[in-house]
Each structure stands twice: as C-alpha cells, then as structure tokens.
Structure 1
C-alpha cells in the first residue's frame, strides 16, 4: 500500500467525536430545504455560500483524488472513471482535471440529460465526459450500458449510497460489470451514527407533516442518517474487493439545522444549555456532519 497522508490523518481521526454543535440564531421554518452552509474558513477554495451537498461533493472529489493508489491509476494515459449515480455531474466536474475520460450513469433521465448538456456547453466531447441512463438493478440495462462504456479504472460515487435499497448488490454489480481487474471503487457518503440518524429521522417526520415534495426527500432514502462503515465494509467484501479501507471521518461539512430537529440529549450536552427548551424553535444549530470514504480494489486474479 502506497504511503498516503490521508491514511495517517484518518487514523488519528478514528477516536474523534462524531459531531459538534454550536448555536446560531436564524428565523426559519423547519423543513429540509432550510438547511444551509455555515462559514468554513478551513476550506478557502470553496465559496462560503456553497450549499452543504455541493461542498460535500467537492470534498468527496478531493478525498478520492488524495487517495494515492487512485491518484496513481488516474495519472496513467487513457484513464477512465465511472461516476455512479452521477446526477447532473457535480462530482464528475470536480474529478475531470485528473482523468482522461469520465462516464456517468444514473437512473434519472432528466439528470443525465442535464449532465450531458452541461458537458456540451463546456465544449467537452463525448469521449471526455458523457452520461448514460442506467438502472443497475436491471440486468438488461447493465449489459447494454456496460458494453458501451467498457471497463473502467475507477468507479466513484458521492452522496448516493444512502438512497440504495441494497448497497451490497450495487457494489457487486458495479465491480462485476464495469470495473477492470485491479481497479478501484471509491464511495463517499454521510456517515451514519446515532446523531445523524436521530436528526434525519426527525427531519423525515417534519417533511411528512409538511407534505414535502423535495427531490431529495427522505421518503426516497433507504438508509436514514447515512451509511455505516460496517455496511460499506460488508458490501465491499461481498463484491469481492480486496485492500478495503474505510475512513470513518474523511471530512465534515457544517450544516445549519433547525433546533427542533436536534435531539434533546445533544442540546443537554452543549455547554451552557441544559434543555432543548433553551432554544427558540426558529433558531438553528450548527452541526458538523461527518462523511465516510470507503475504497476497495478489485483483485487482478479473481477468487
């Protein structure tokens, strides 16, 4: 395994607290759309107004590229990367300077059309950046699309696995049909722990009460509060991947969360606050949401 500063840093982070909370006042209703970024002076290359999900995808791309074995693979000529659940291409655009060709796949036809329109408007050719509609739970679609894409050196995915009903089956399908022997899969998602699970469960209840039609509604989420490190490890193992590394606190993103969504036990843990009633119901609390990075390599010789 190549030396990598990310490895060493994340080893130090293993024992850190999963989230921290700082009060921040704001008048707002308590729906998911109210989530917004707080200032982050530690990320000077990211605009402070960048929404949390966009900032997370930027940091996801950085984490993937900072993983030395993947950086080495992408540095070779004619490198090819598959962006799974690519959406409109945010992760792809962050990764593009580091790879010769990126192919996106997504179940959402509108997102794929937007992905390809953005690439075209940027003057990119189809052999540089292009996406296909593909439902990887359907064998015929996987077969037809994989014949078009060919095998890739790296499969990357950001903020998508918590939407999957079966992440183990998804990993197995991706590794078997799209990844070259010796290639890598890298997945970044919200790290599930008791804090994130409680917050997003509360958010889901509020959204239902408000009859939310948000495209990212947690009615479409199979893993409320993110994905656990153990689930990712088991999924990678089931896909036959080797050299699996799970970085449980790869990075954090500041999010302003309506105070009524914060569990009482977390308010009580804050210095100077003894109860959730100490907060105005329209105030917000700054939460450092943790993200996990999981990487695994497909063996050159299959078992």
Structure 2
C-alpha cells in the first residue's frame, strides 16, 4: 500500500506553534495505551463509527472510497469502517499507538486496507502534485487536544480531493461552557469544554471548506463522570 501513502514530514504547523501541548499529548498516550481498550471507550468508538456512516451513507463505496484518519488511535474505529471503504490511512502522534494499530490490523487480516504511521502532516503550502488526496479526512474525539484547531483543519483540508469531505466528531460545548475534561492528569487538553457550532463553522470556513453543516451525533454519552453530547461537523472541499 506504499503508493497510497500521503507525502508527509516531521513538522506540523500546530506542533510548531504549540510544542508543549503536542509533547504532552504524545507522552500521555505513550503511557496510557490501555485507555483505548476501556469498555466505555470501545462502546463509544463503535457507536460513533456507526452513527457517522448512518448520517452520510453516500460517502462510502467499498470499491473506491479512501480515508485519512488523523489522530487515529489504535484503530478500532477504522476496523469498524474497513468493510465499507477501499482503504484507510491512519496518522497519530504516538508511535506506541501506531504500532498497536498496525498490530491489530494484522491480527484482523486487514493489513491490506488499514495502515498507520507516526508522522506529521505537511502544511498546505508545502504540498505538491504527487501528494495523495482522500475522499474523506476524518478526525474523531481529537480536536479538543489540538492547541490550534484552525491550523490543523487547514492542513487536513489540504489532503482532500476536490469534492471530498472533512468529518470531525468531538465534544459539543454547552451554554454554560462546562469543563468536561478535568484534573491535573488532563493538563495536555486545551479545549476542556468542547466546541460550539459557531466556532466550528469559523474553523472550517477559514480552511476553505464549503457546505458546512453540523449536528448532534450522540447525546448522553458517559465520559469522565459527565454525560456529554458529541457533534458531527462536515465541510466539503470545493471542486
């Protein structure tokens, strides 16, 4: 699958501007790999994967759909999607997470469809014509970890084919801006209350995406002693 891999390098705009958050996130996930296997996380991941497919069934074609999953984790989400798309390329900041992703893909006989790597995506200004583009670029439950979601979104949008969709699922901020993610152990999380629709629309618009839409994906999901609501936002790269 080497010919399918996007061109990448070792620096990303978000990480250059905010090295502390990036380093803290990497260290946290390197040291807490078991979090991905907690029953509530597994259940939530499967529910989110199914709900996104239900929301946008026309985006999925097993013969042709290619997906880039940014902050892919250990691959449970992508294994749930594997029977609905042609291939998925995962990217994560943690080498240990990526190693587990590829190990699980191999164990499930999916190495021909799922492949992850631990590198940083190139900034838009450094892309060239040889860079692989995707039908779907996906980022689930990771935006609240990014110091600059604006920078990340611009980079993710640059990996879309014309007409391709960026899909982001994350915590929906309530009117009281309740901090869902609390405690010293989560100091690496800059957006502890999530995002509202106005913020997400501004982020997507600044990244050059069109046809923005956002709606509730799952409500009442138990996360860290809170019942939270997840949103799904979509933007389309103009033709």
TM-score by length of 2: 0.75
What are the residue-to-residue correspondences of 1:68-217 with 2, within 5 Å? 68=56, 71-75=57-61, 77-126=63-112, 128-136=113-121, 139=123, 150-176=132-158, 178-194=159-175, 197-200=178-181, 203-204=182-183, 208=184, 217=185
1:171-229 superposed Cα distances (whole Å, 9 cap, x missing partner) = 111111x11000001100011225562443xx32xxx3xxxxxxxx4211110122222
Residues 151 and 288 from structure 1, CA distance in 2 versus in 1: closer, same or farther, beyond 3 angstroms?
same
**Match in the other structure for 2:211:** 243
Task: Tell me which residue corresponds to 1:252.
Answer: 219
Contact 1:175 1:298 in 2 (8 A): yes
- Report the equivalent of 1:64: 52
1:296 aligned onto 2:235 = yes
Q: Decide whether aligned partners of structure 1 residues 147 and 129 sit closer, same or farther in structure 2, where only a CA change above 3 A counts.
A: farther
Q: CA RMSD in A?
A: 2.6
Residues 198 and 87 of structure 1, relative CA distance in 2, 3 Å threshold: closer
2:180·2:192 contact (CA, 8 Å) conserved in 1? no
- 1:95 is displaced (CA, Å) by 1.4
> How far does residue 89 in structure 1 lie from its aligned partner after superposition?
0.9
Is 1:228 aligned with 2:210? no
CA distance in 2, matches of 1:198, 1:115: 30
Distance across 2 between alignment mates of 1:134 and 1:82: 13
Secondary structure of the corresponding residue to residue 166 of structure 2:
strand
Displacement of 1:256 in angstroms is: 7.3
Distance 1:99 1:199, change over 3 A: closer
SS of the aligned residue for 1:175 comes to: helix
1-side partners of 2:221 and 2:238: how far apart?
Answer: 37
Unaligned runs of 5+ in 1: 1-32, 34-48, 209-216, 259-286
Matches for 1:20-31 after TM superposition, within 5 Å: none
Question: Relative contact order (alpha carbons < 8 A, sep ≥ 6): 1 or 2 greater?
Answer: 1
SS in 1 for 2:82: helix
- Distance between the aligned counterparts of 1:253 and 1:132, measured in 2? 33
Q: What is the aligned partner in structure 1 of residue 39 from structure 2?
A: 50
Judged with a 3 Å threshold, the aligned counterparts in structure 2 of structure 1 residues 155 and 167 are, in CA distance, closer, same or farther, namely same
TM-score by length of 1: 0.60
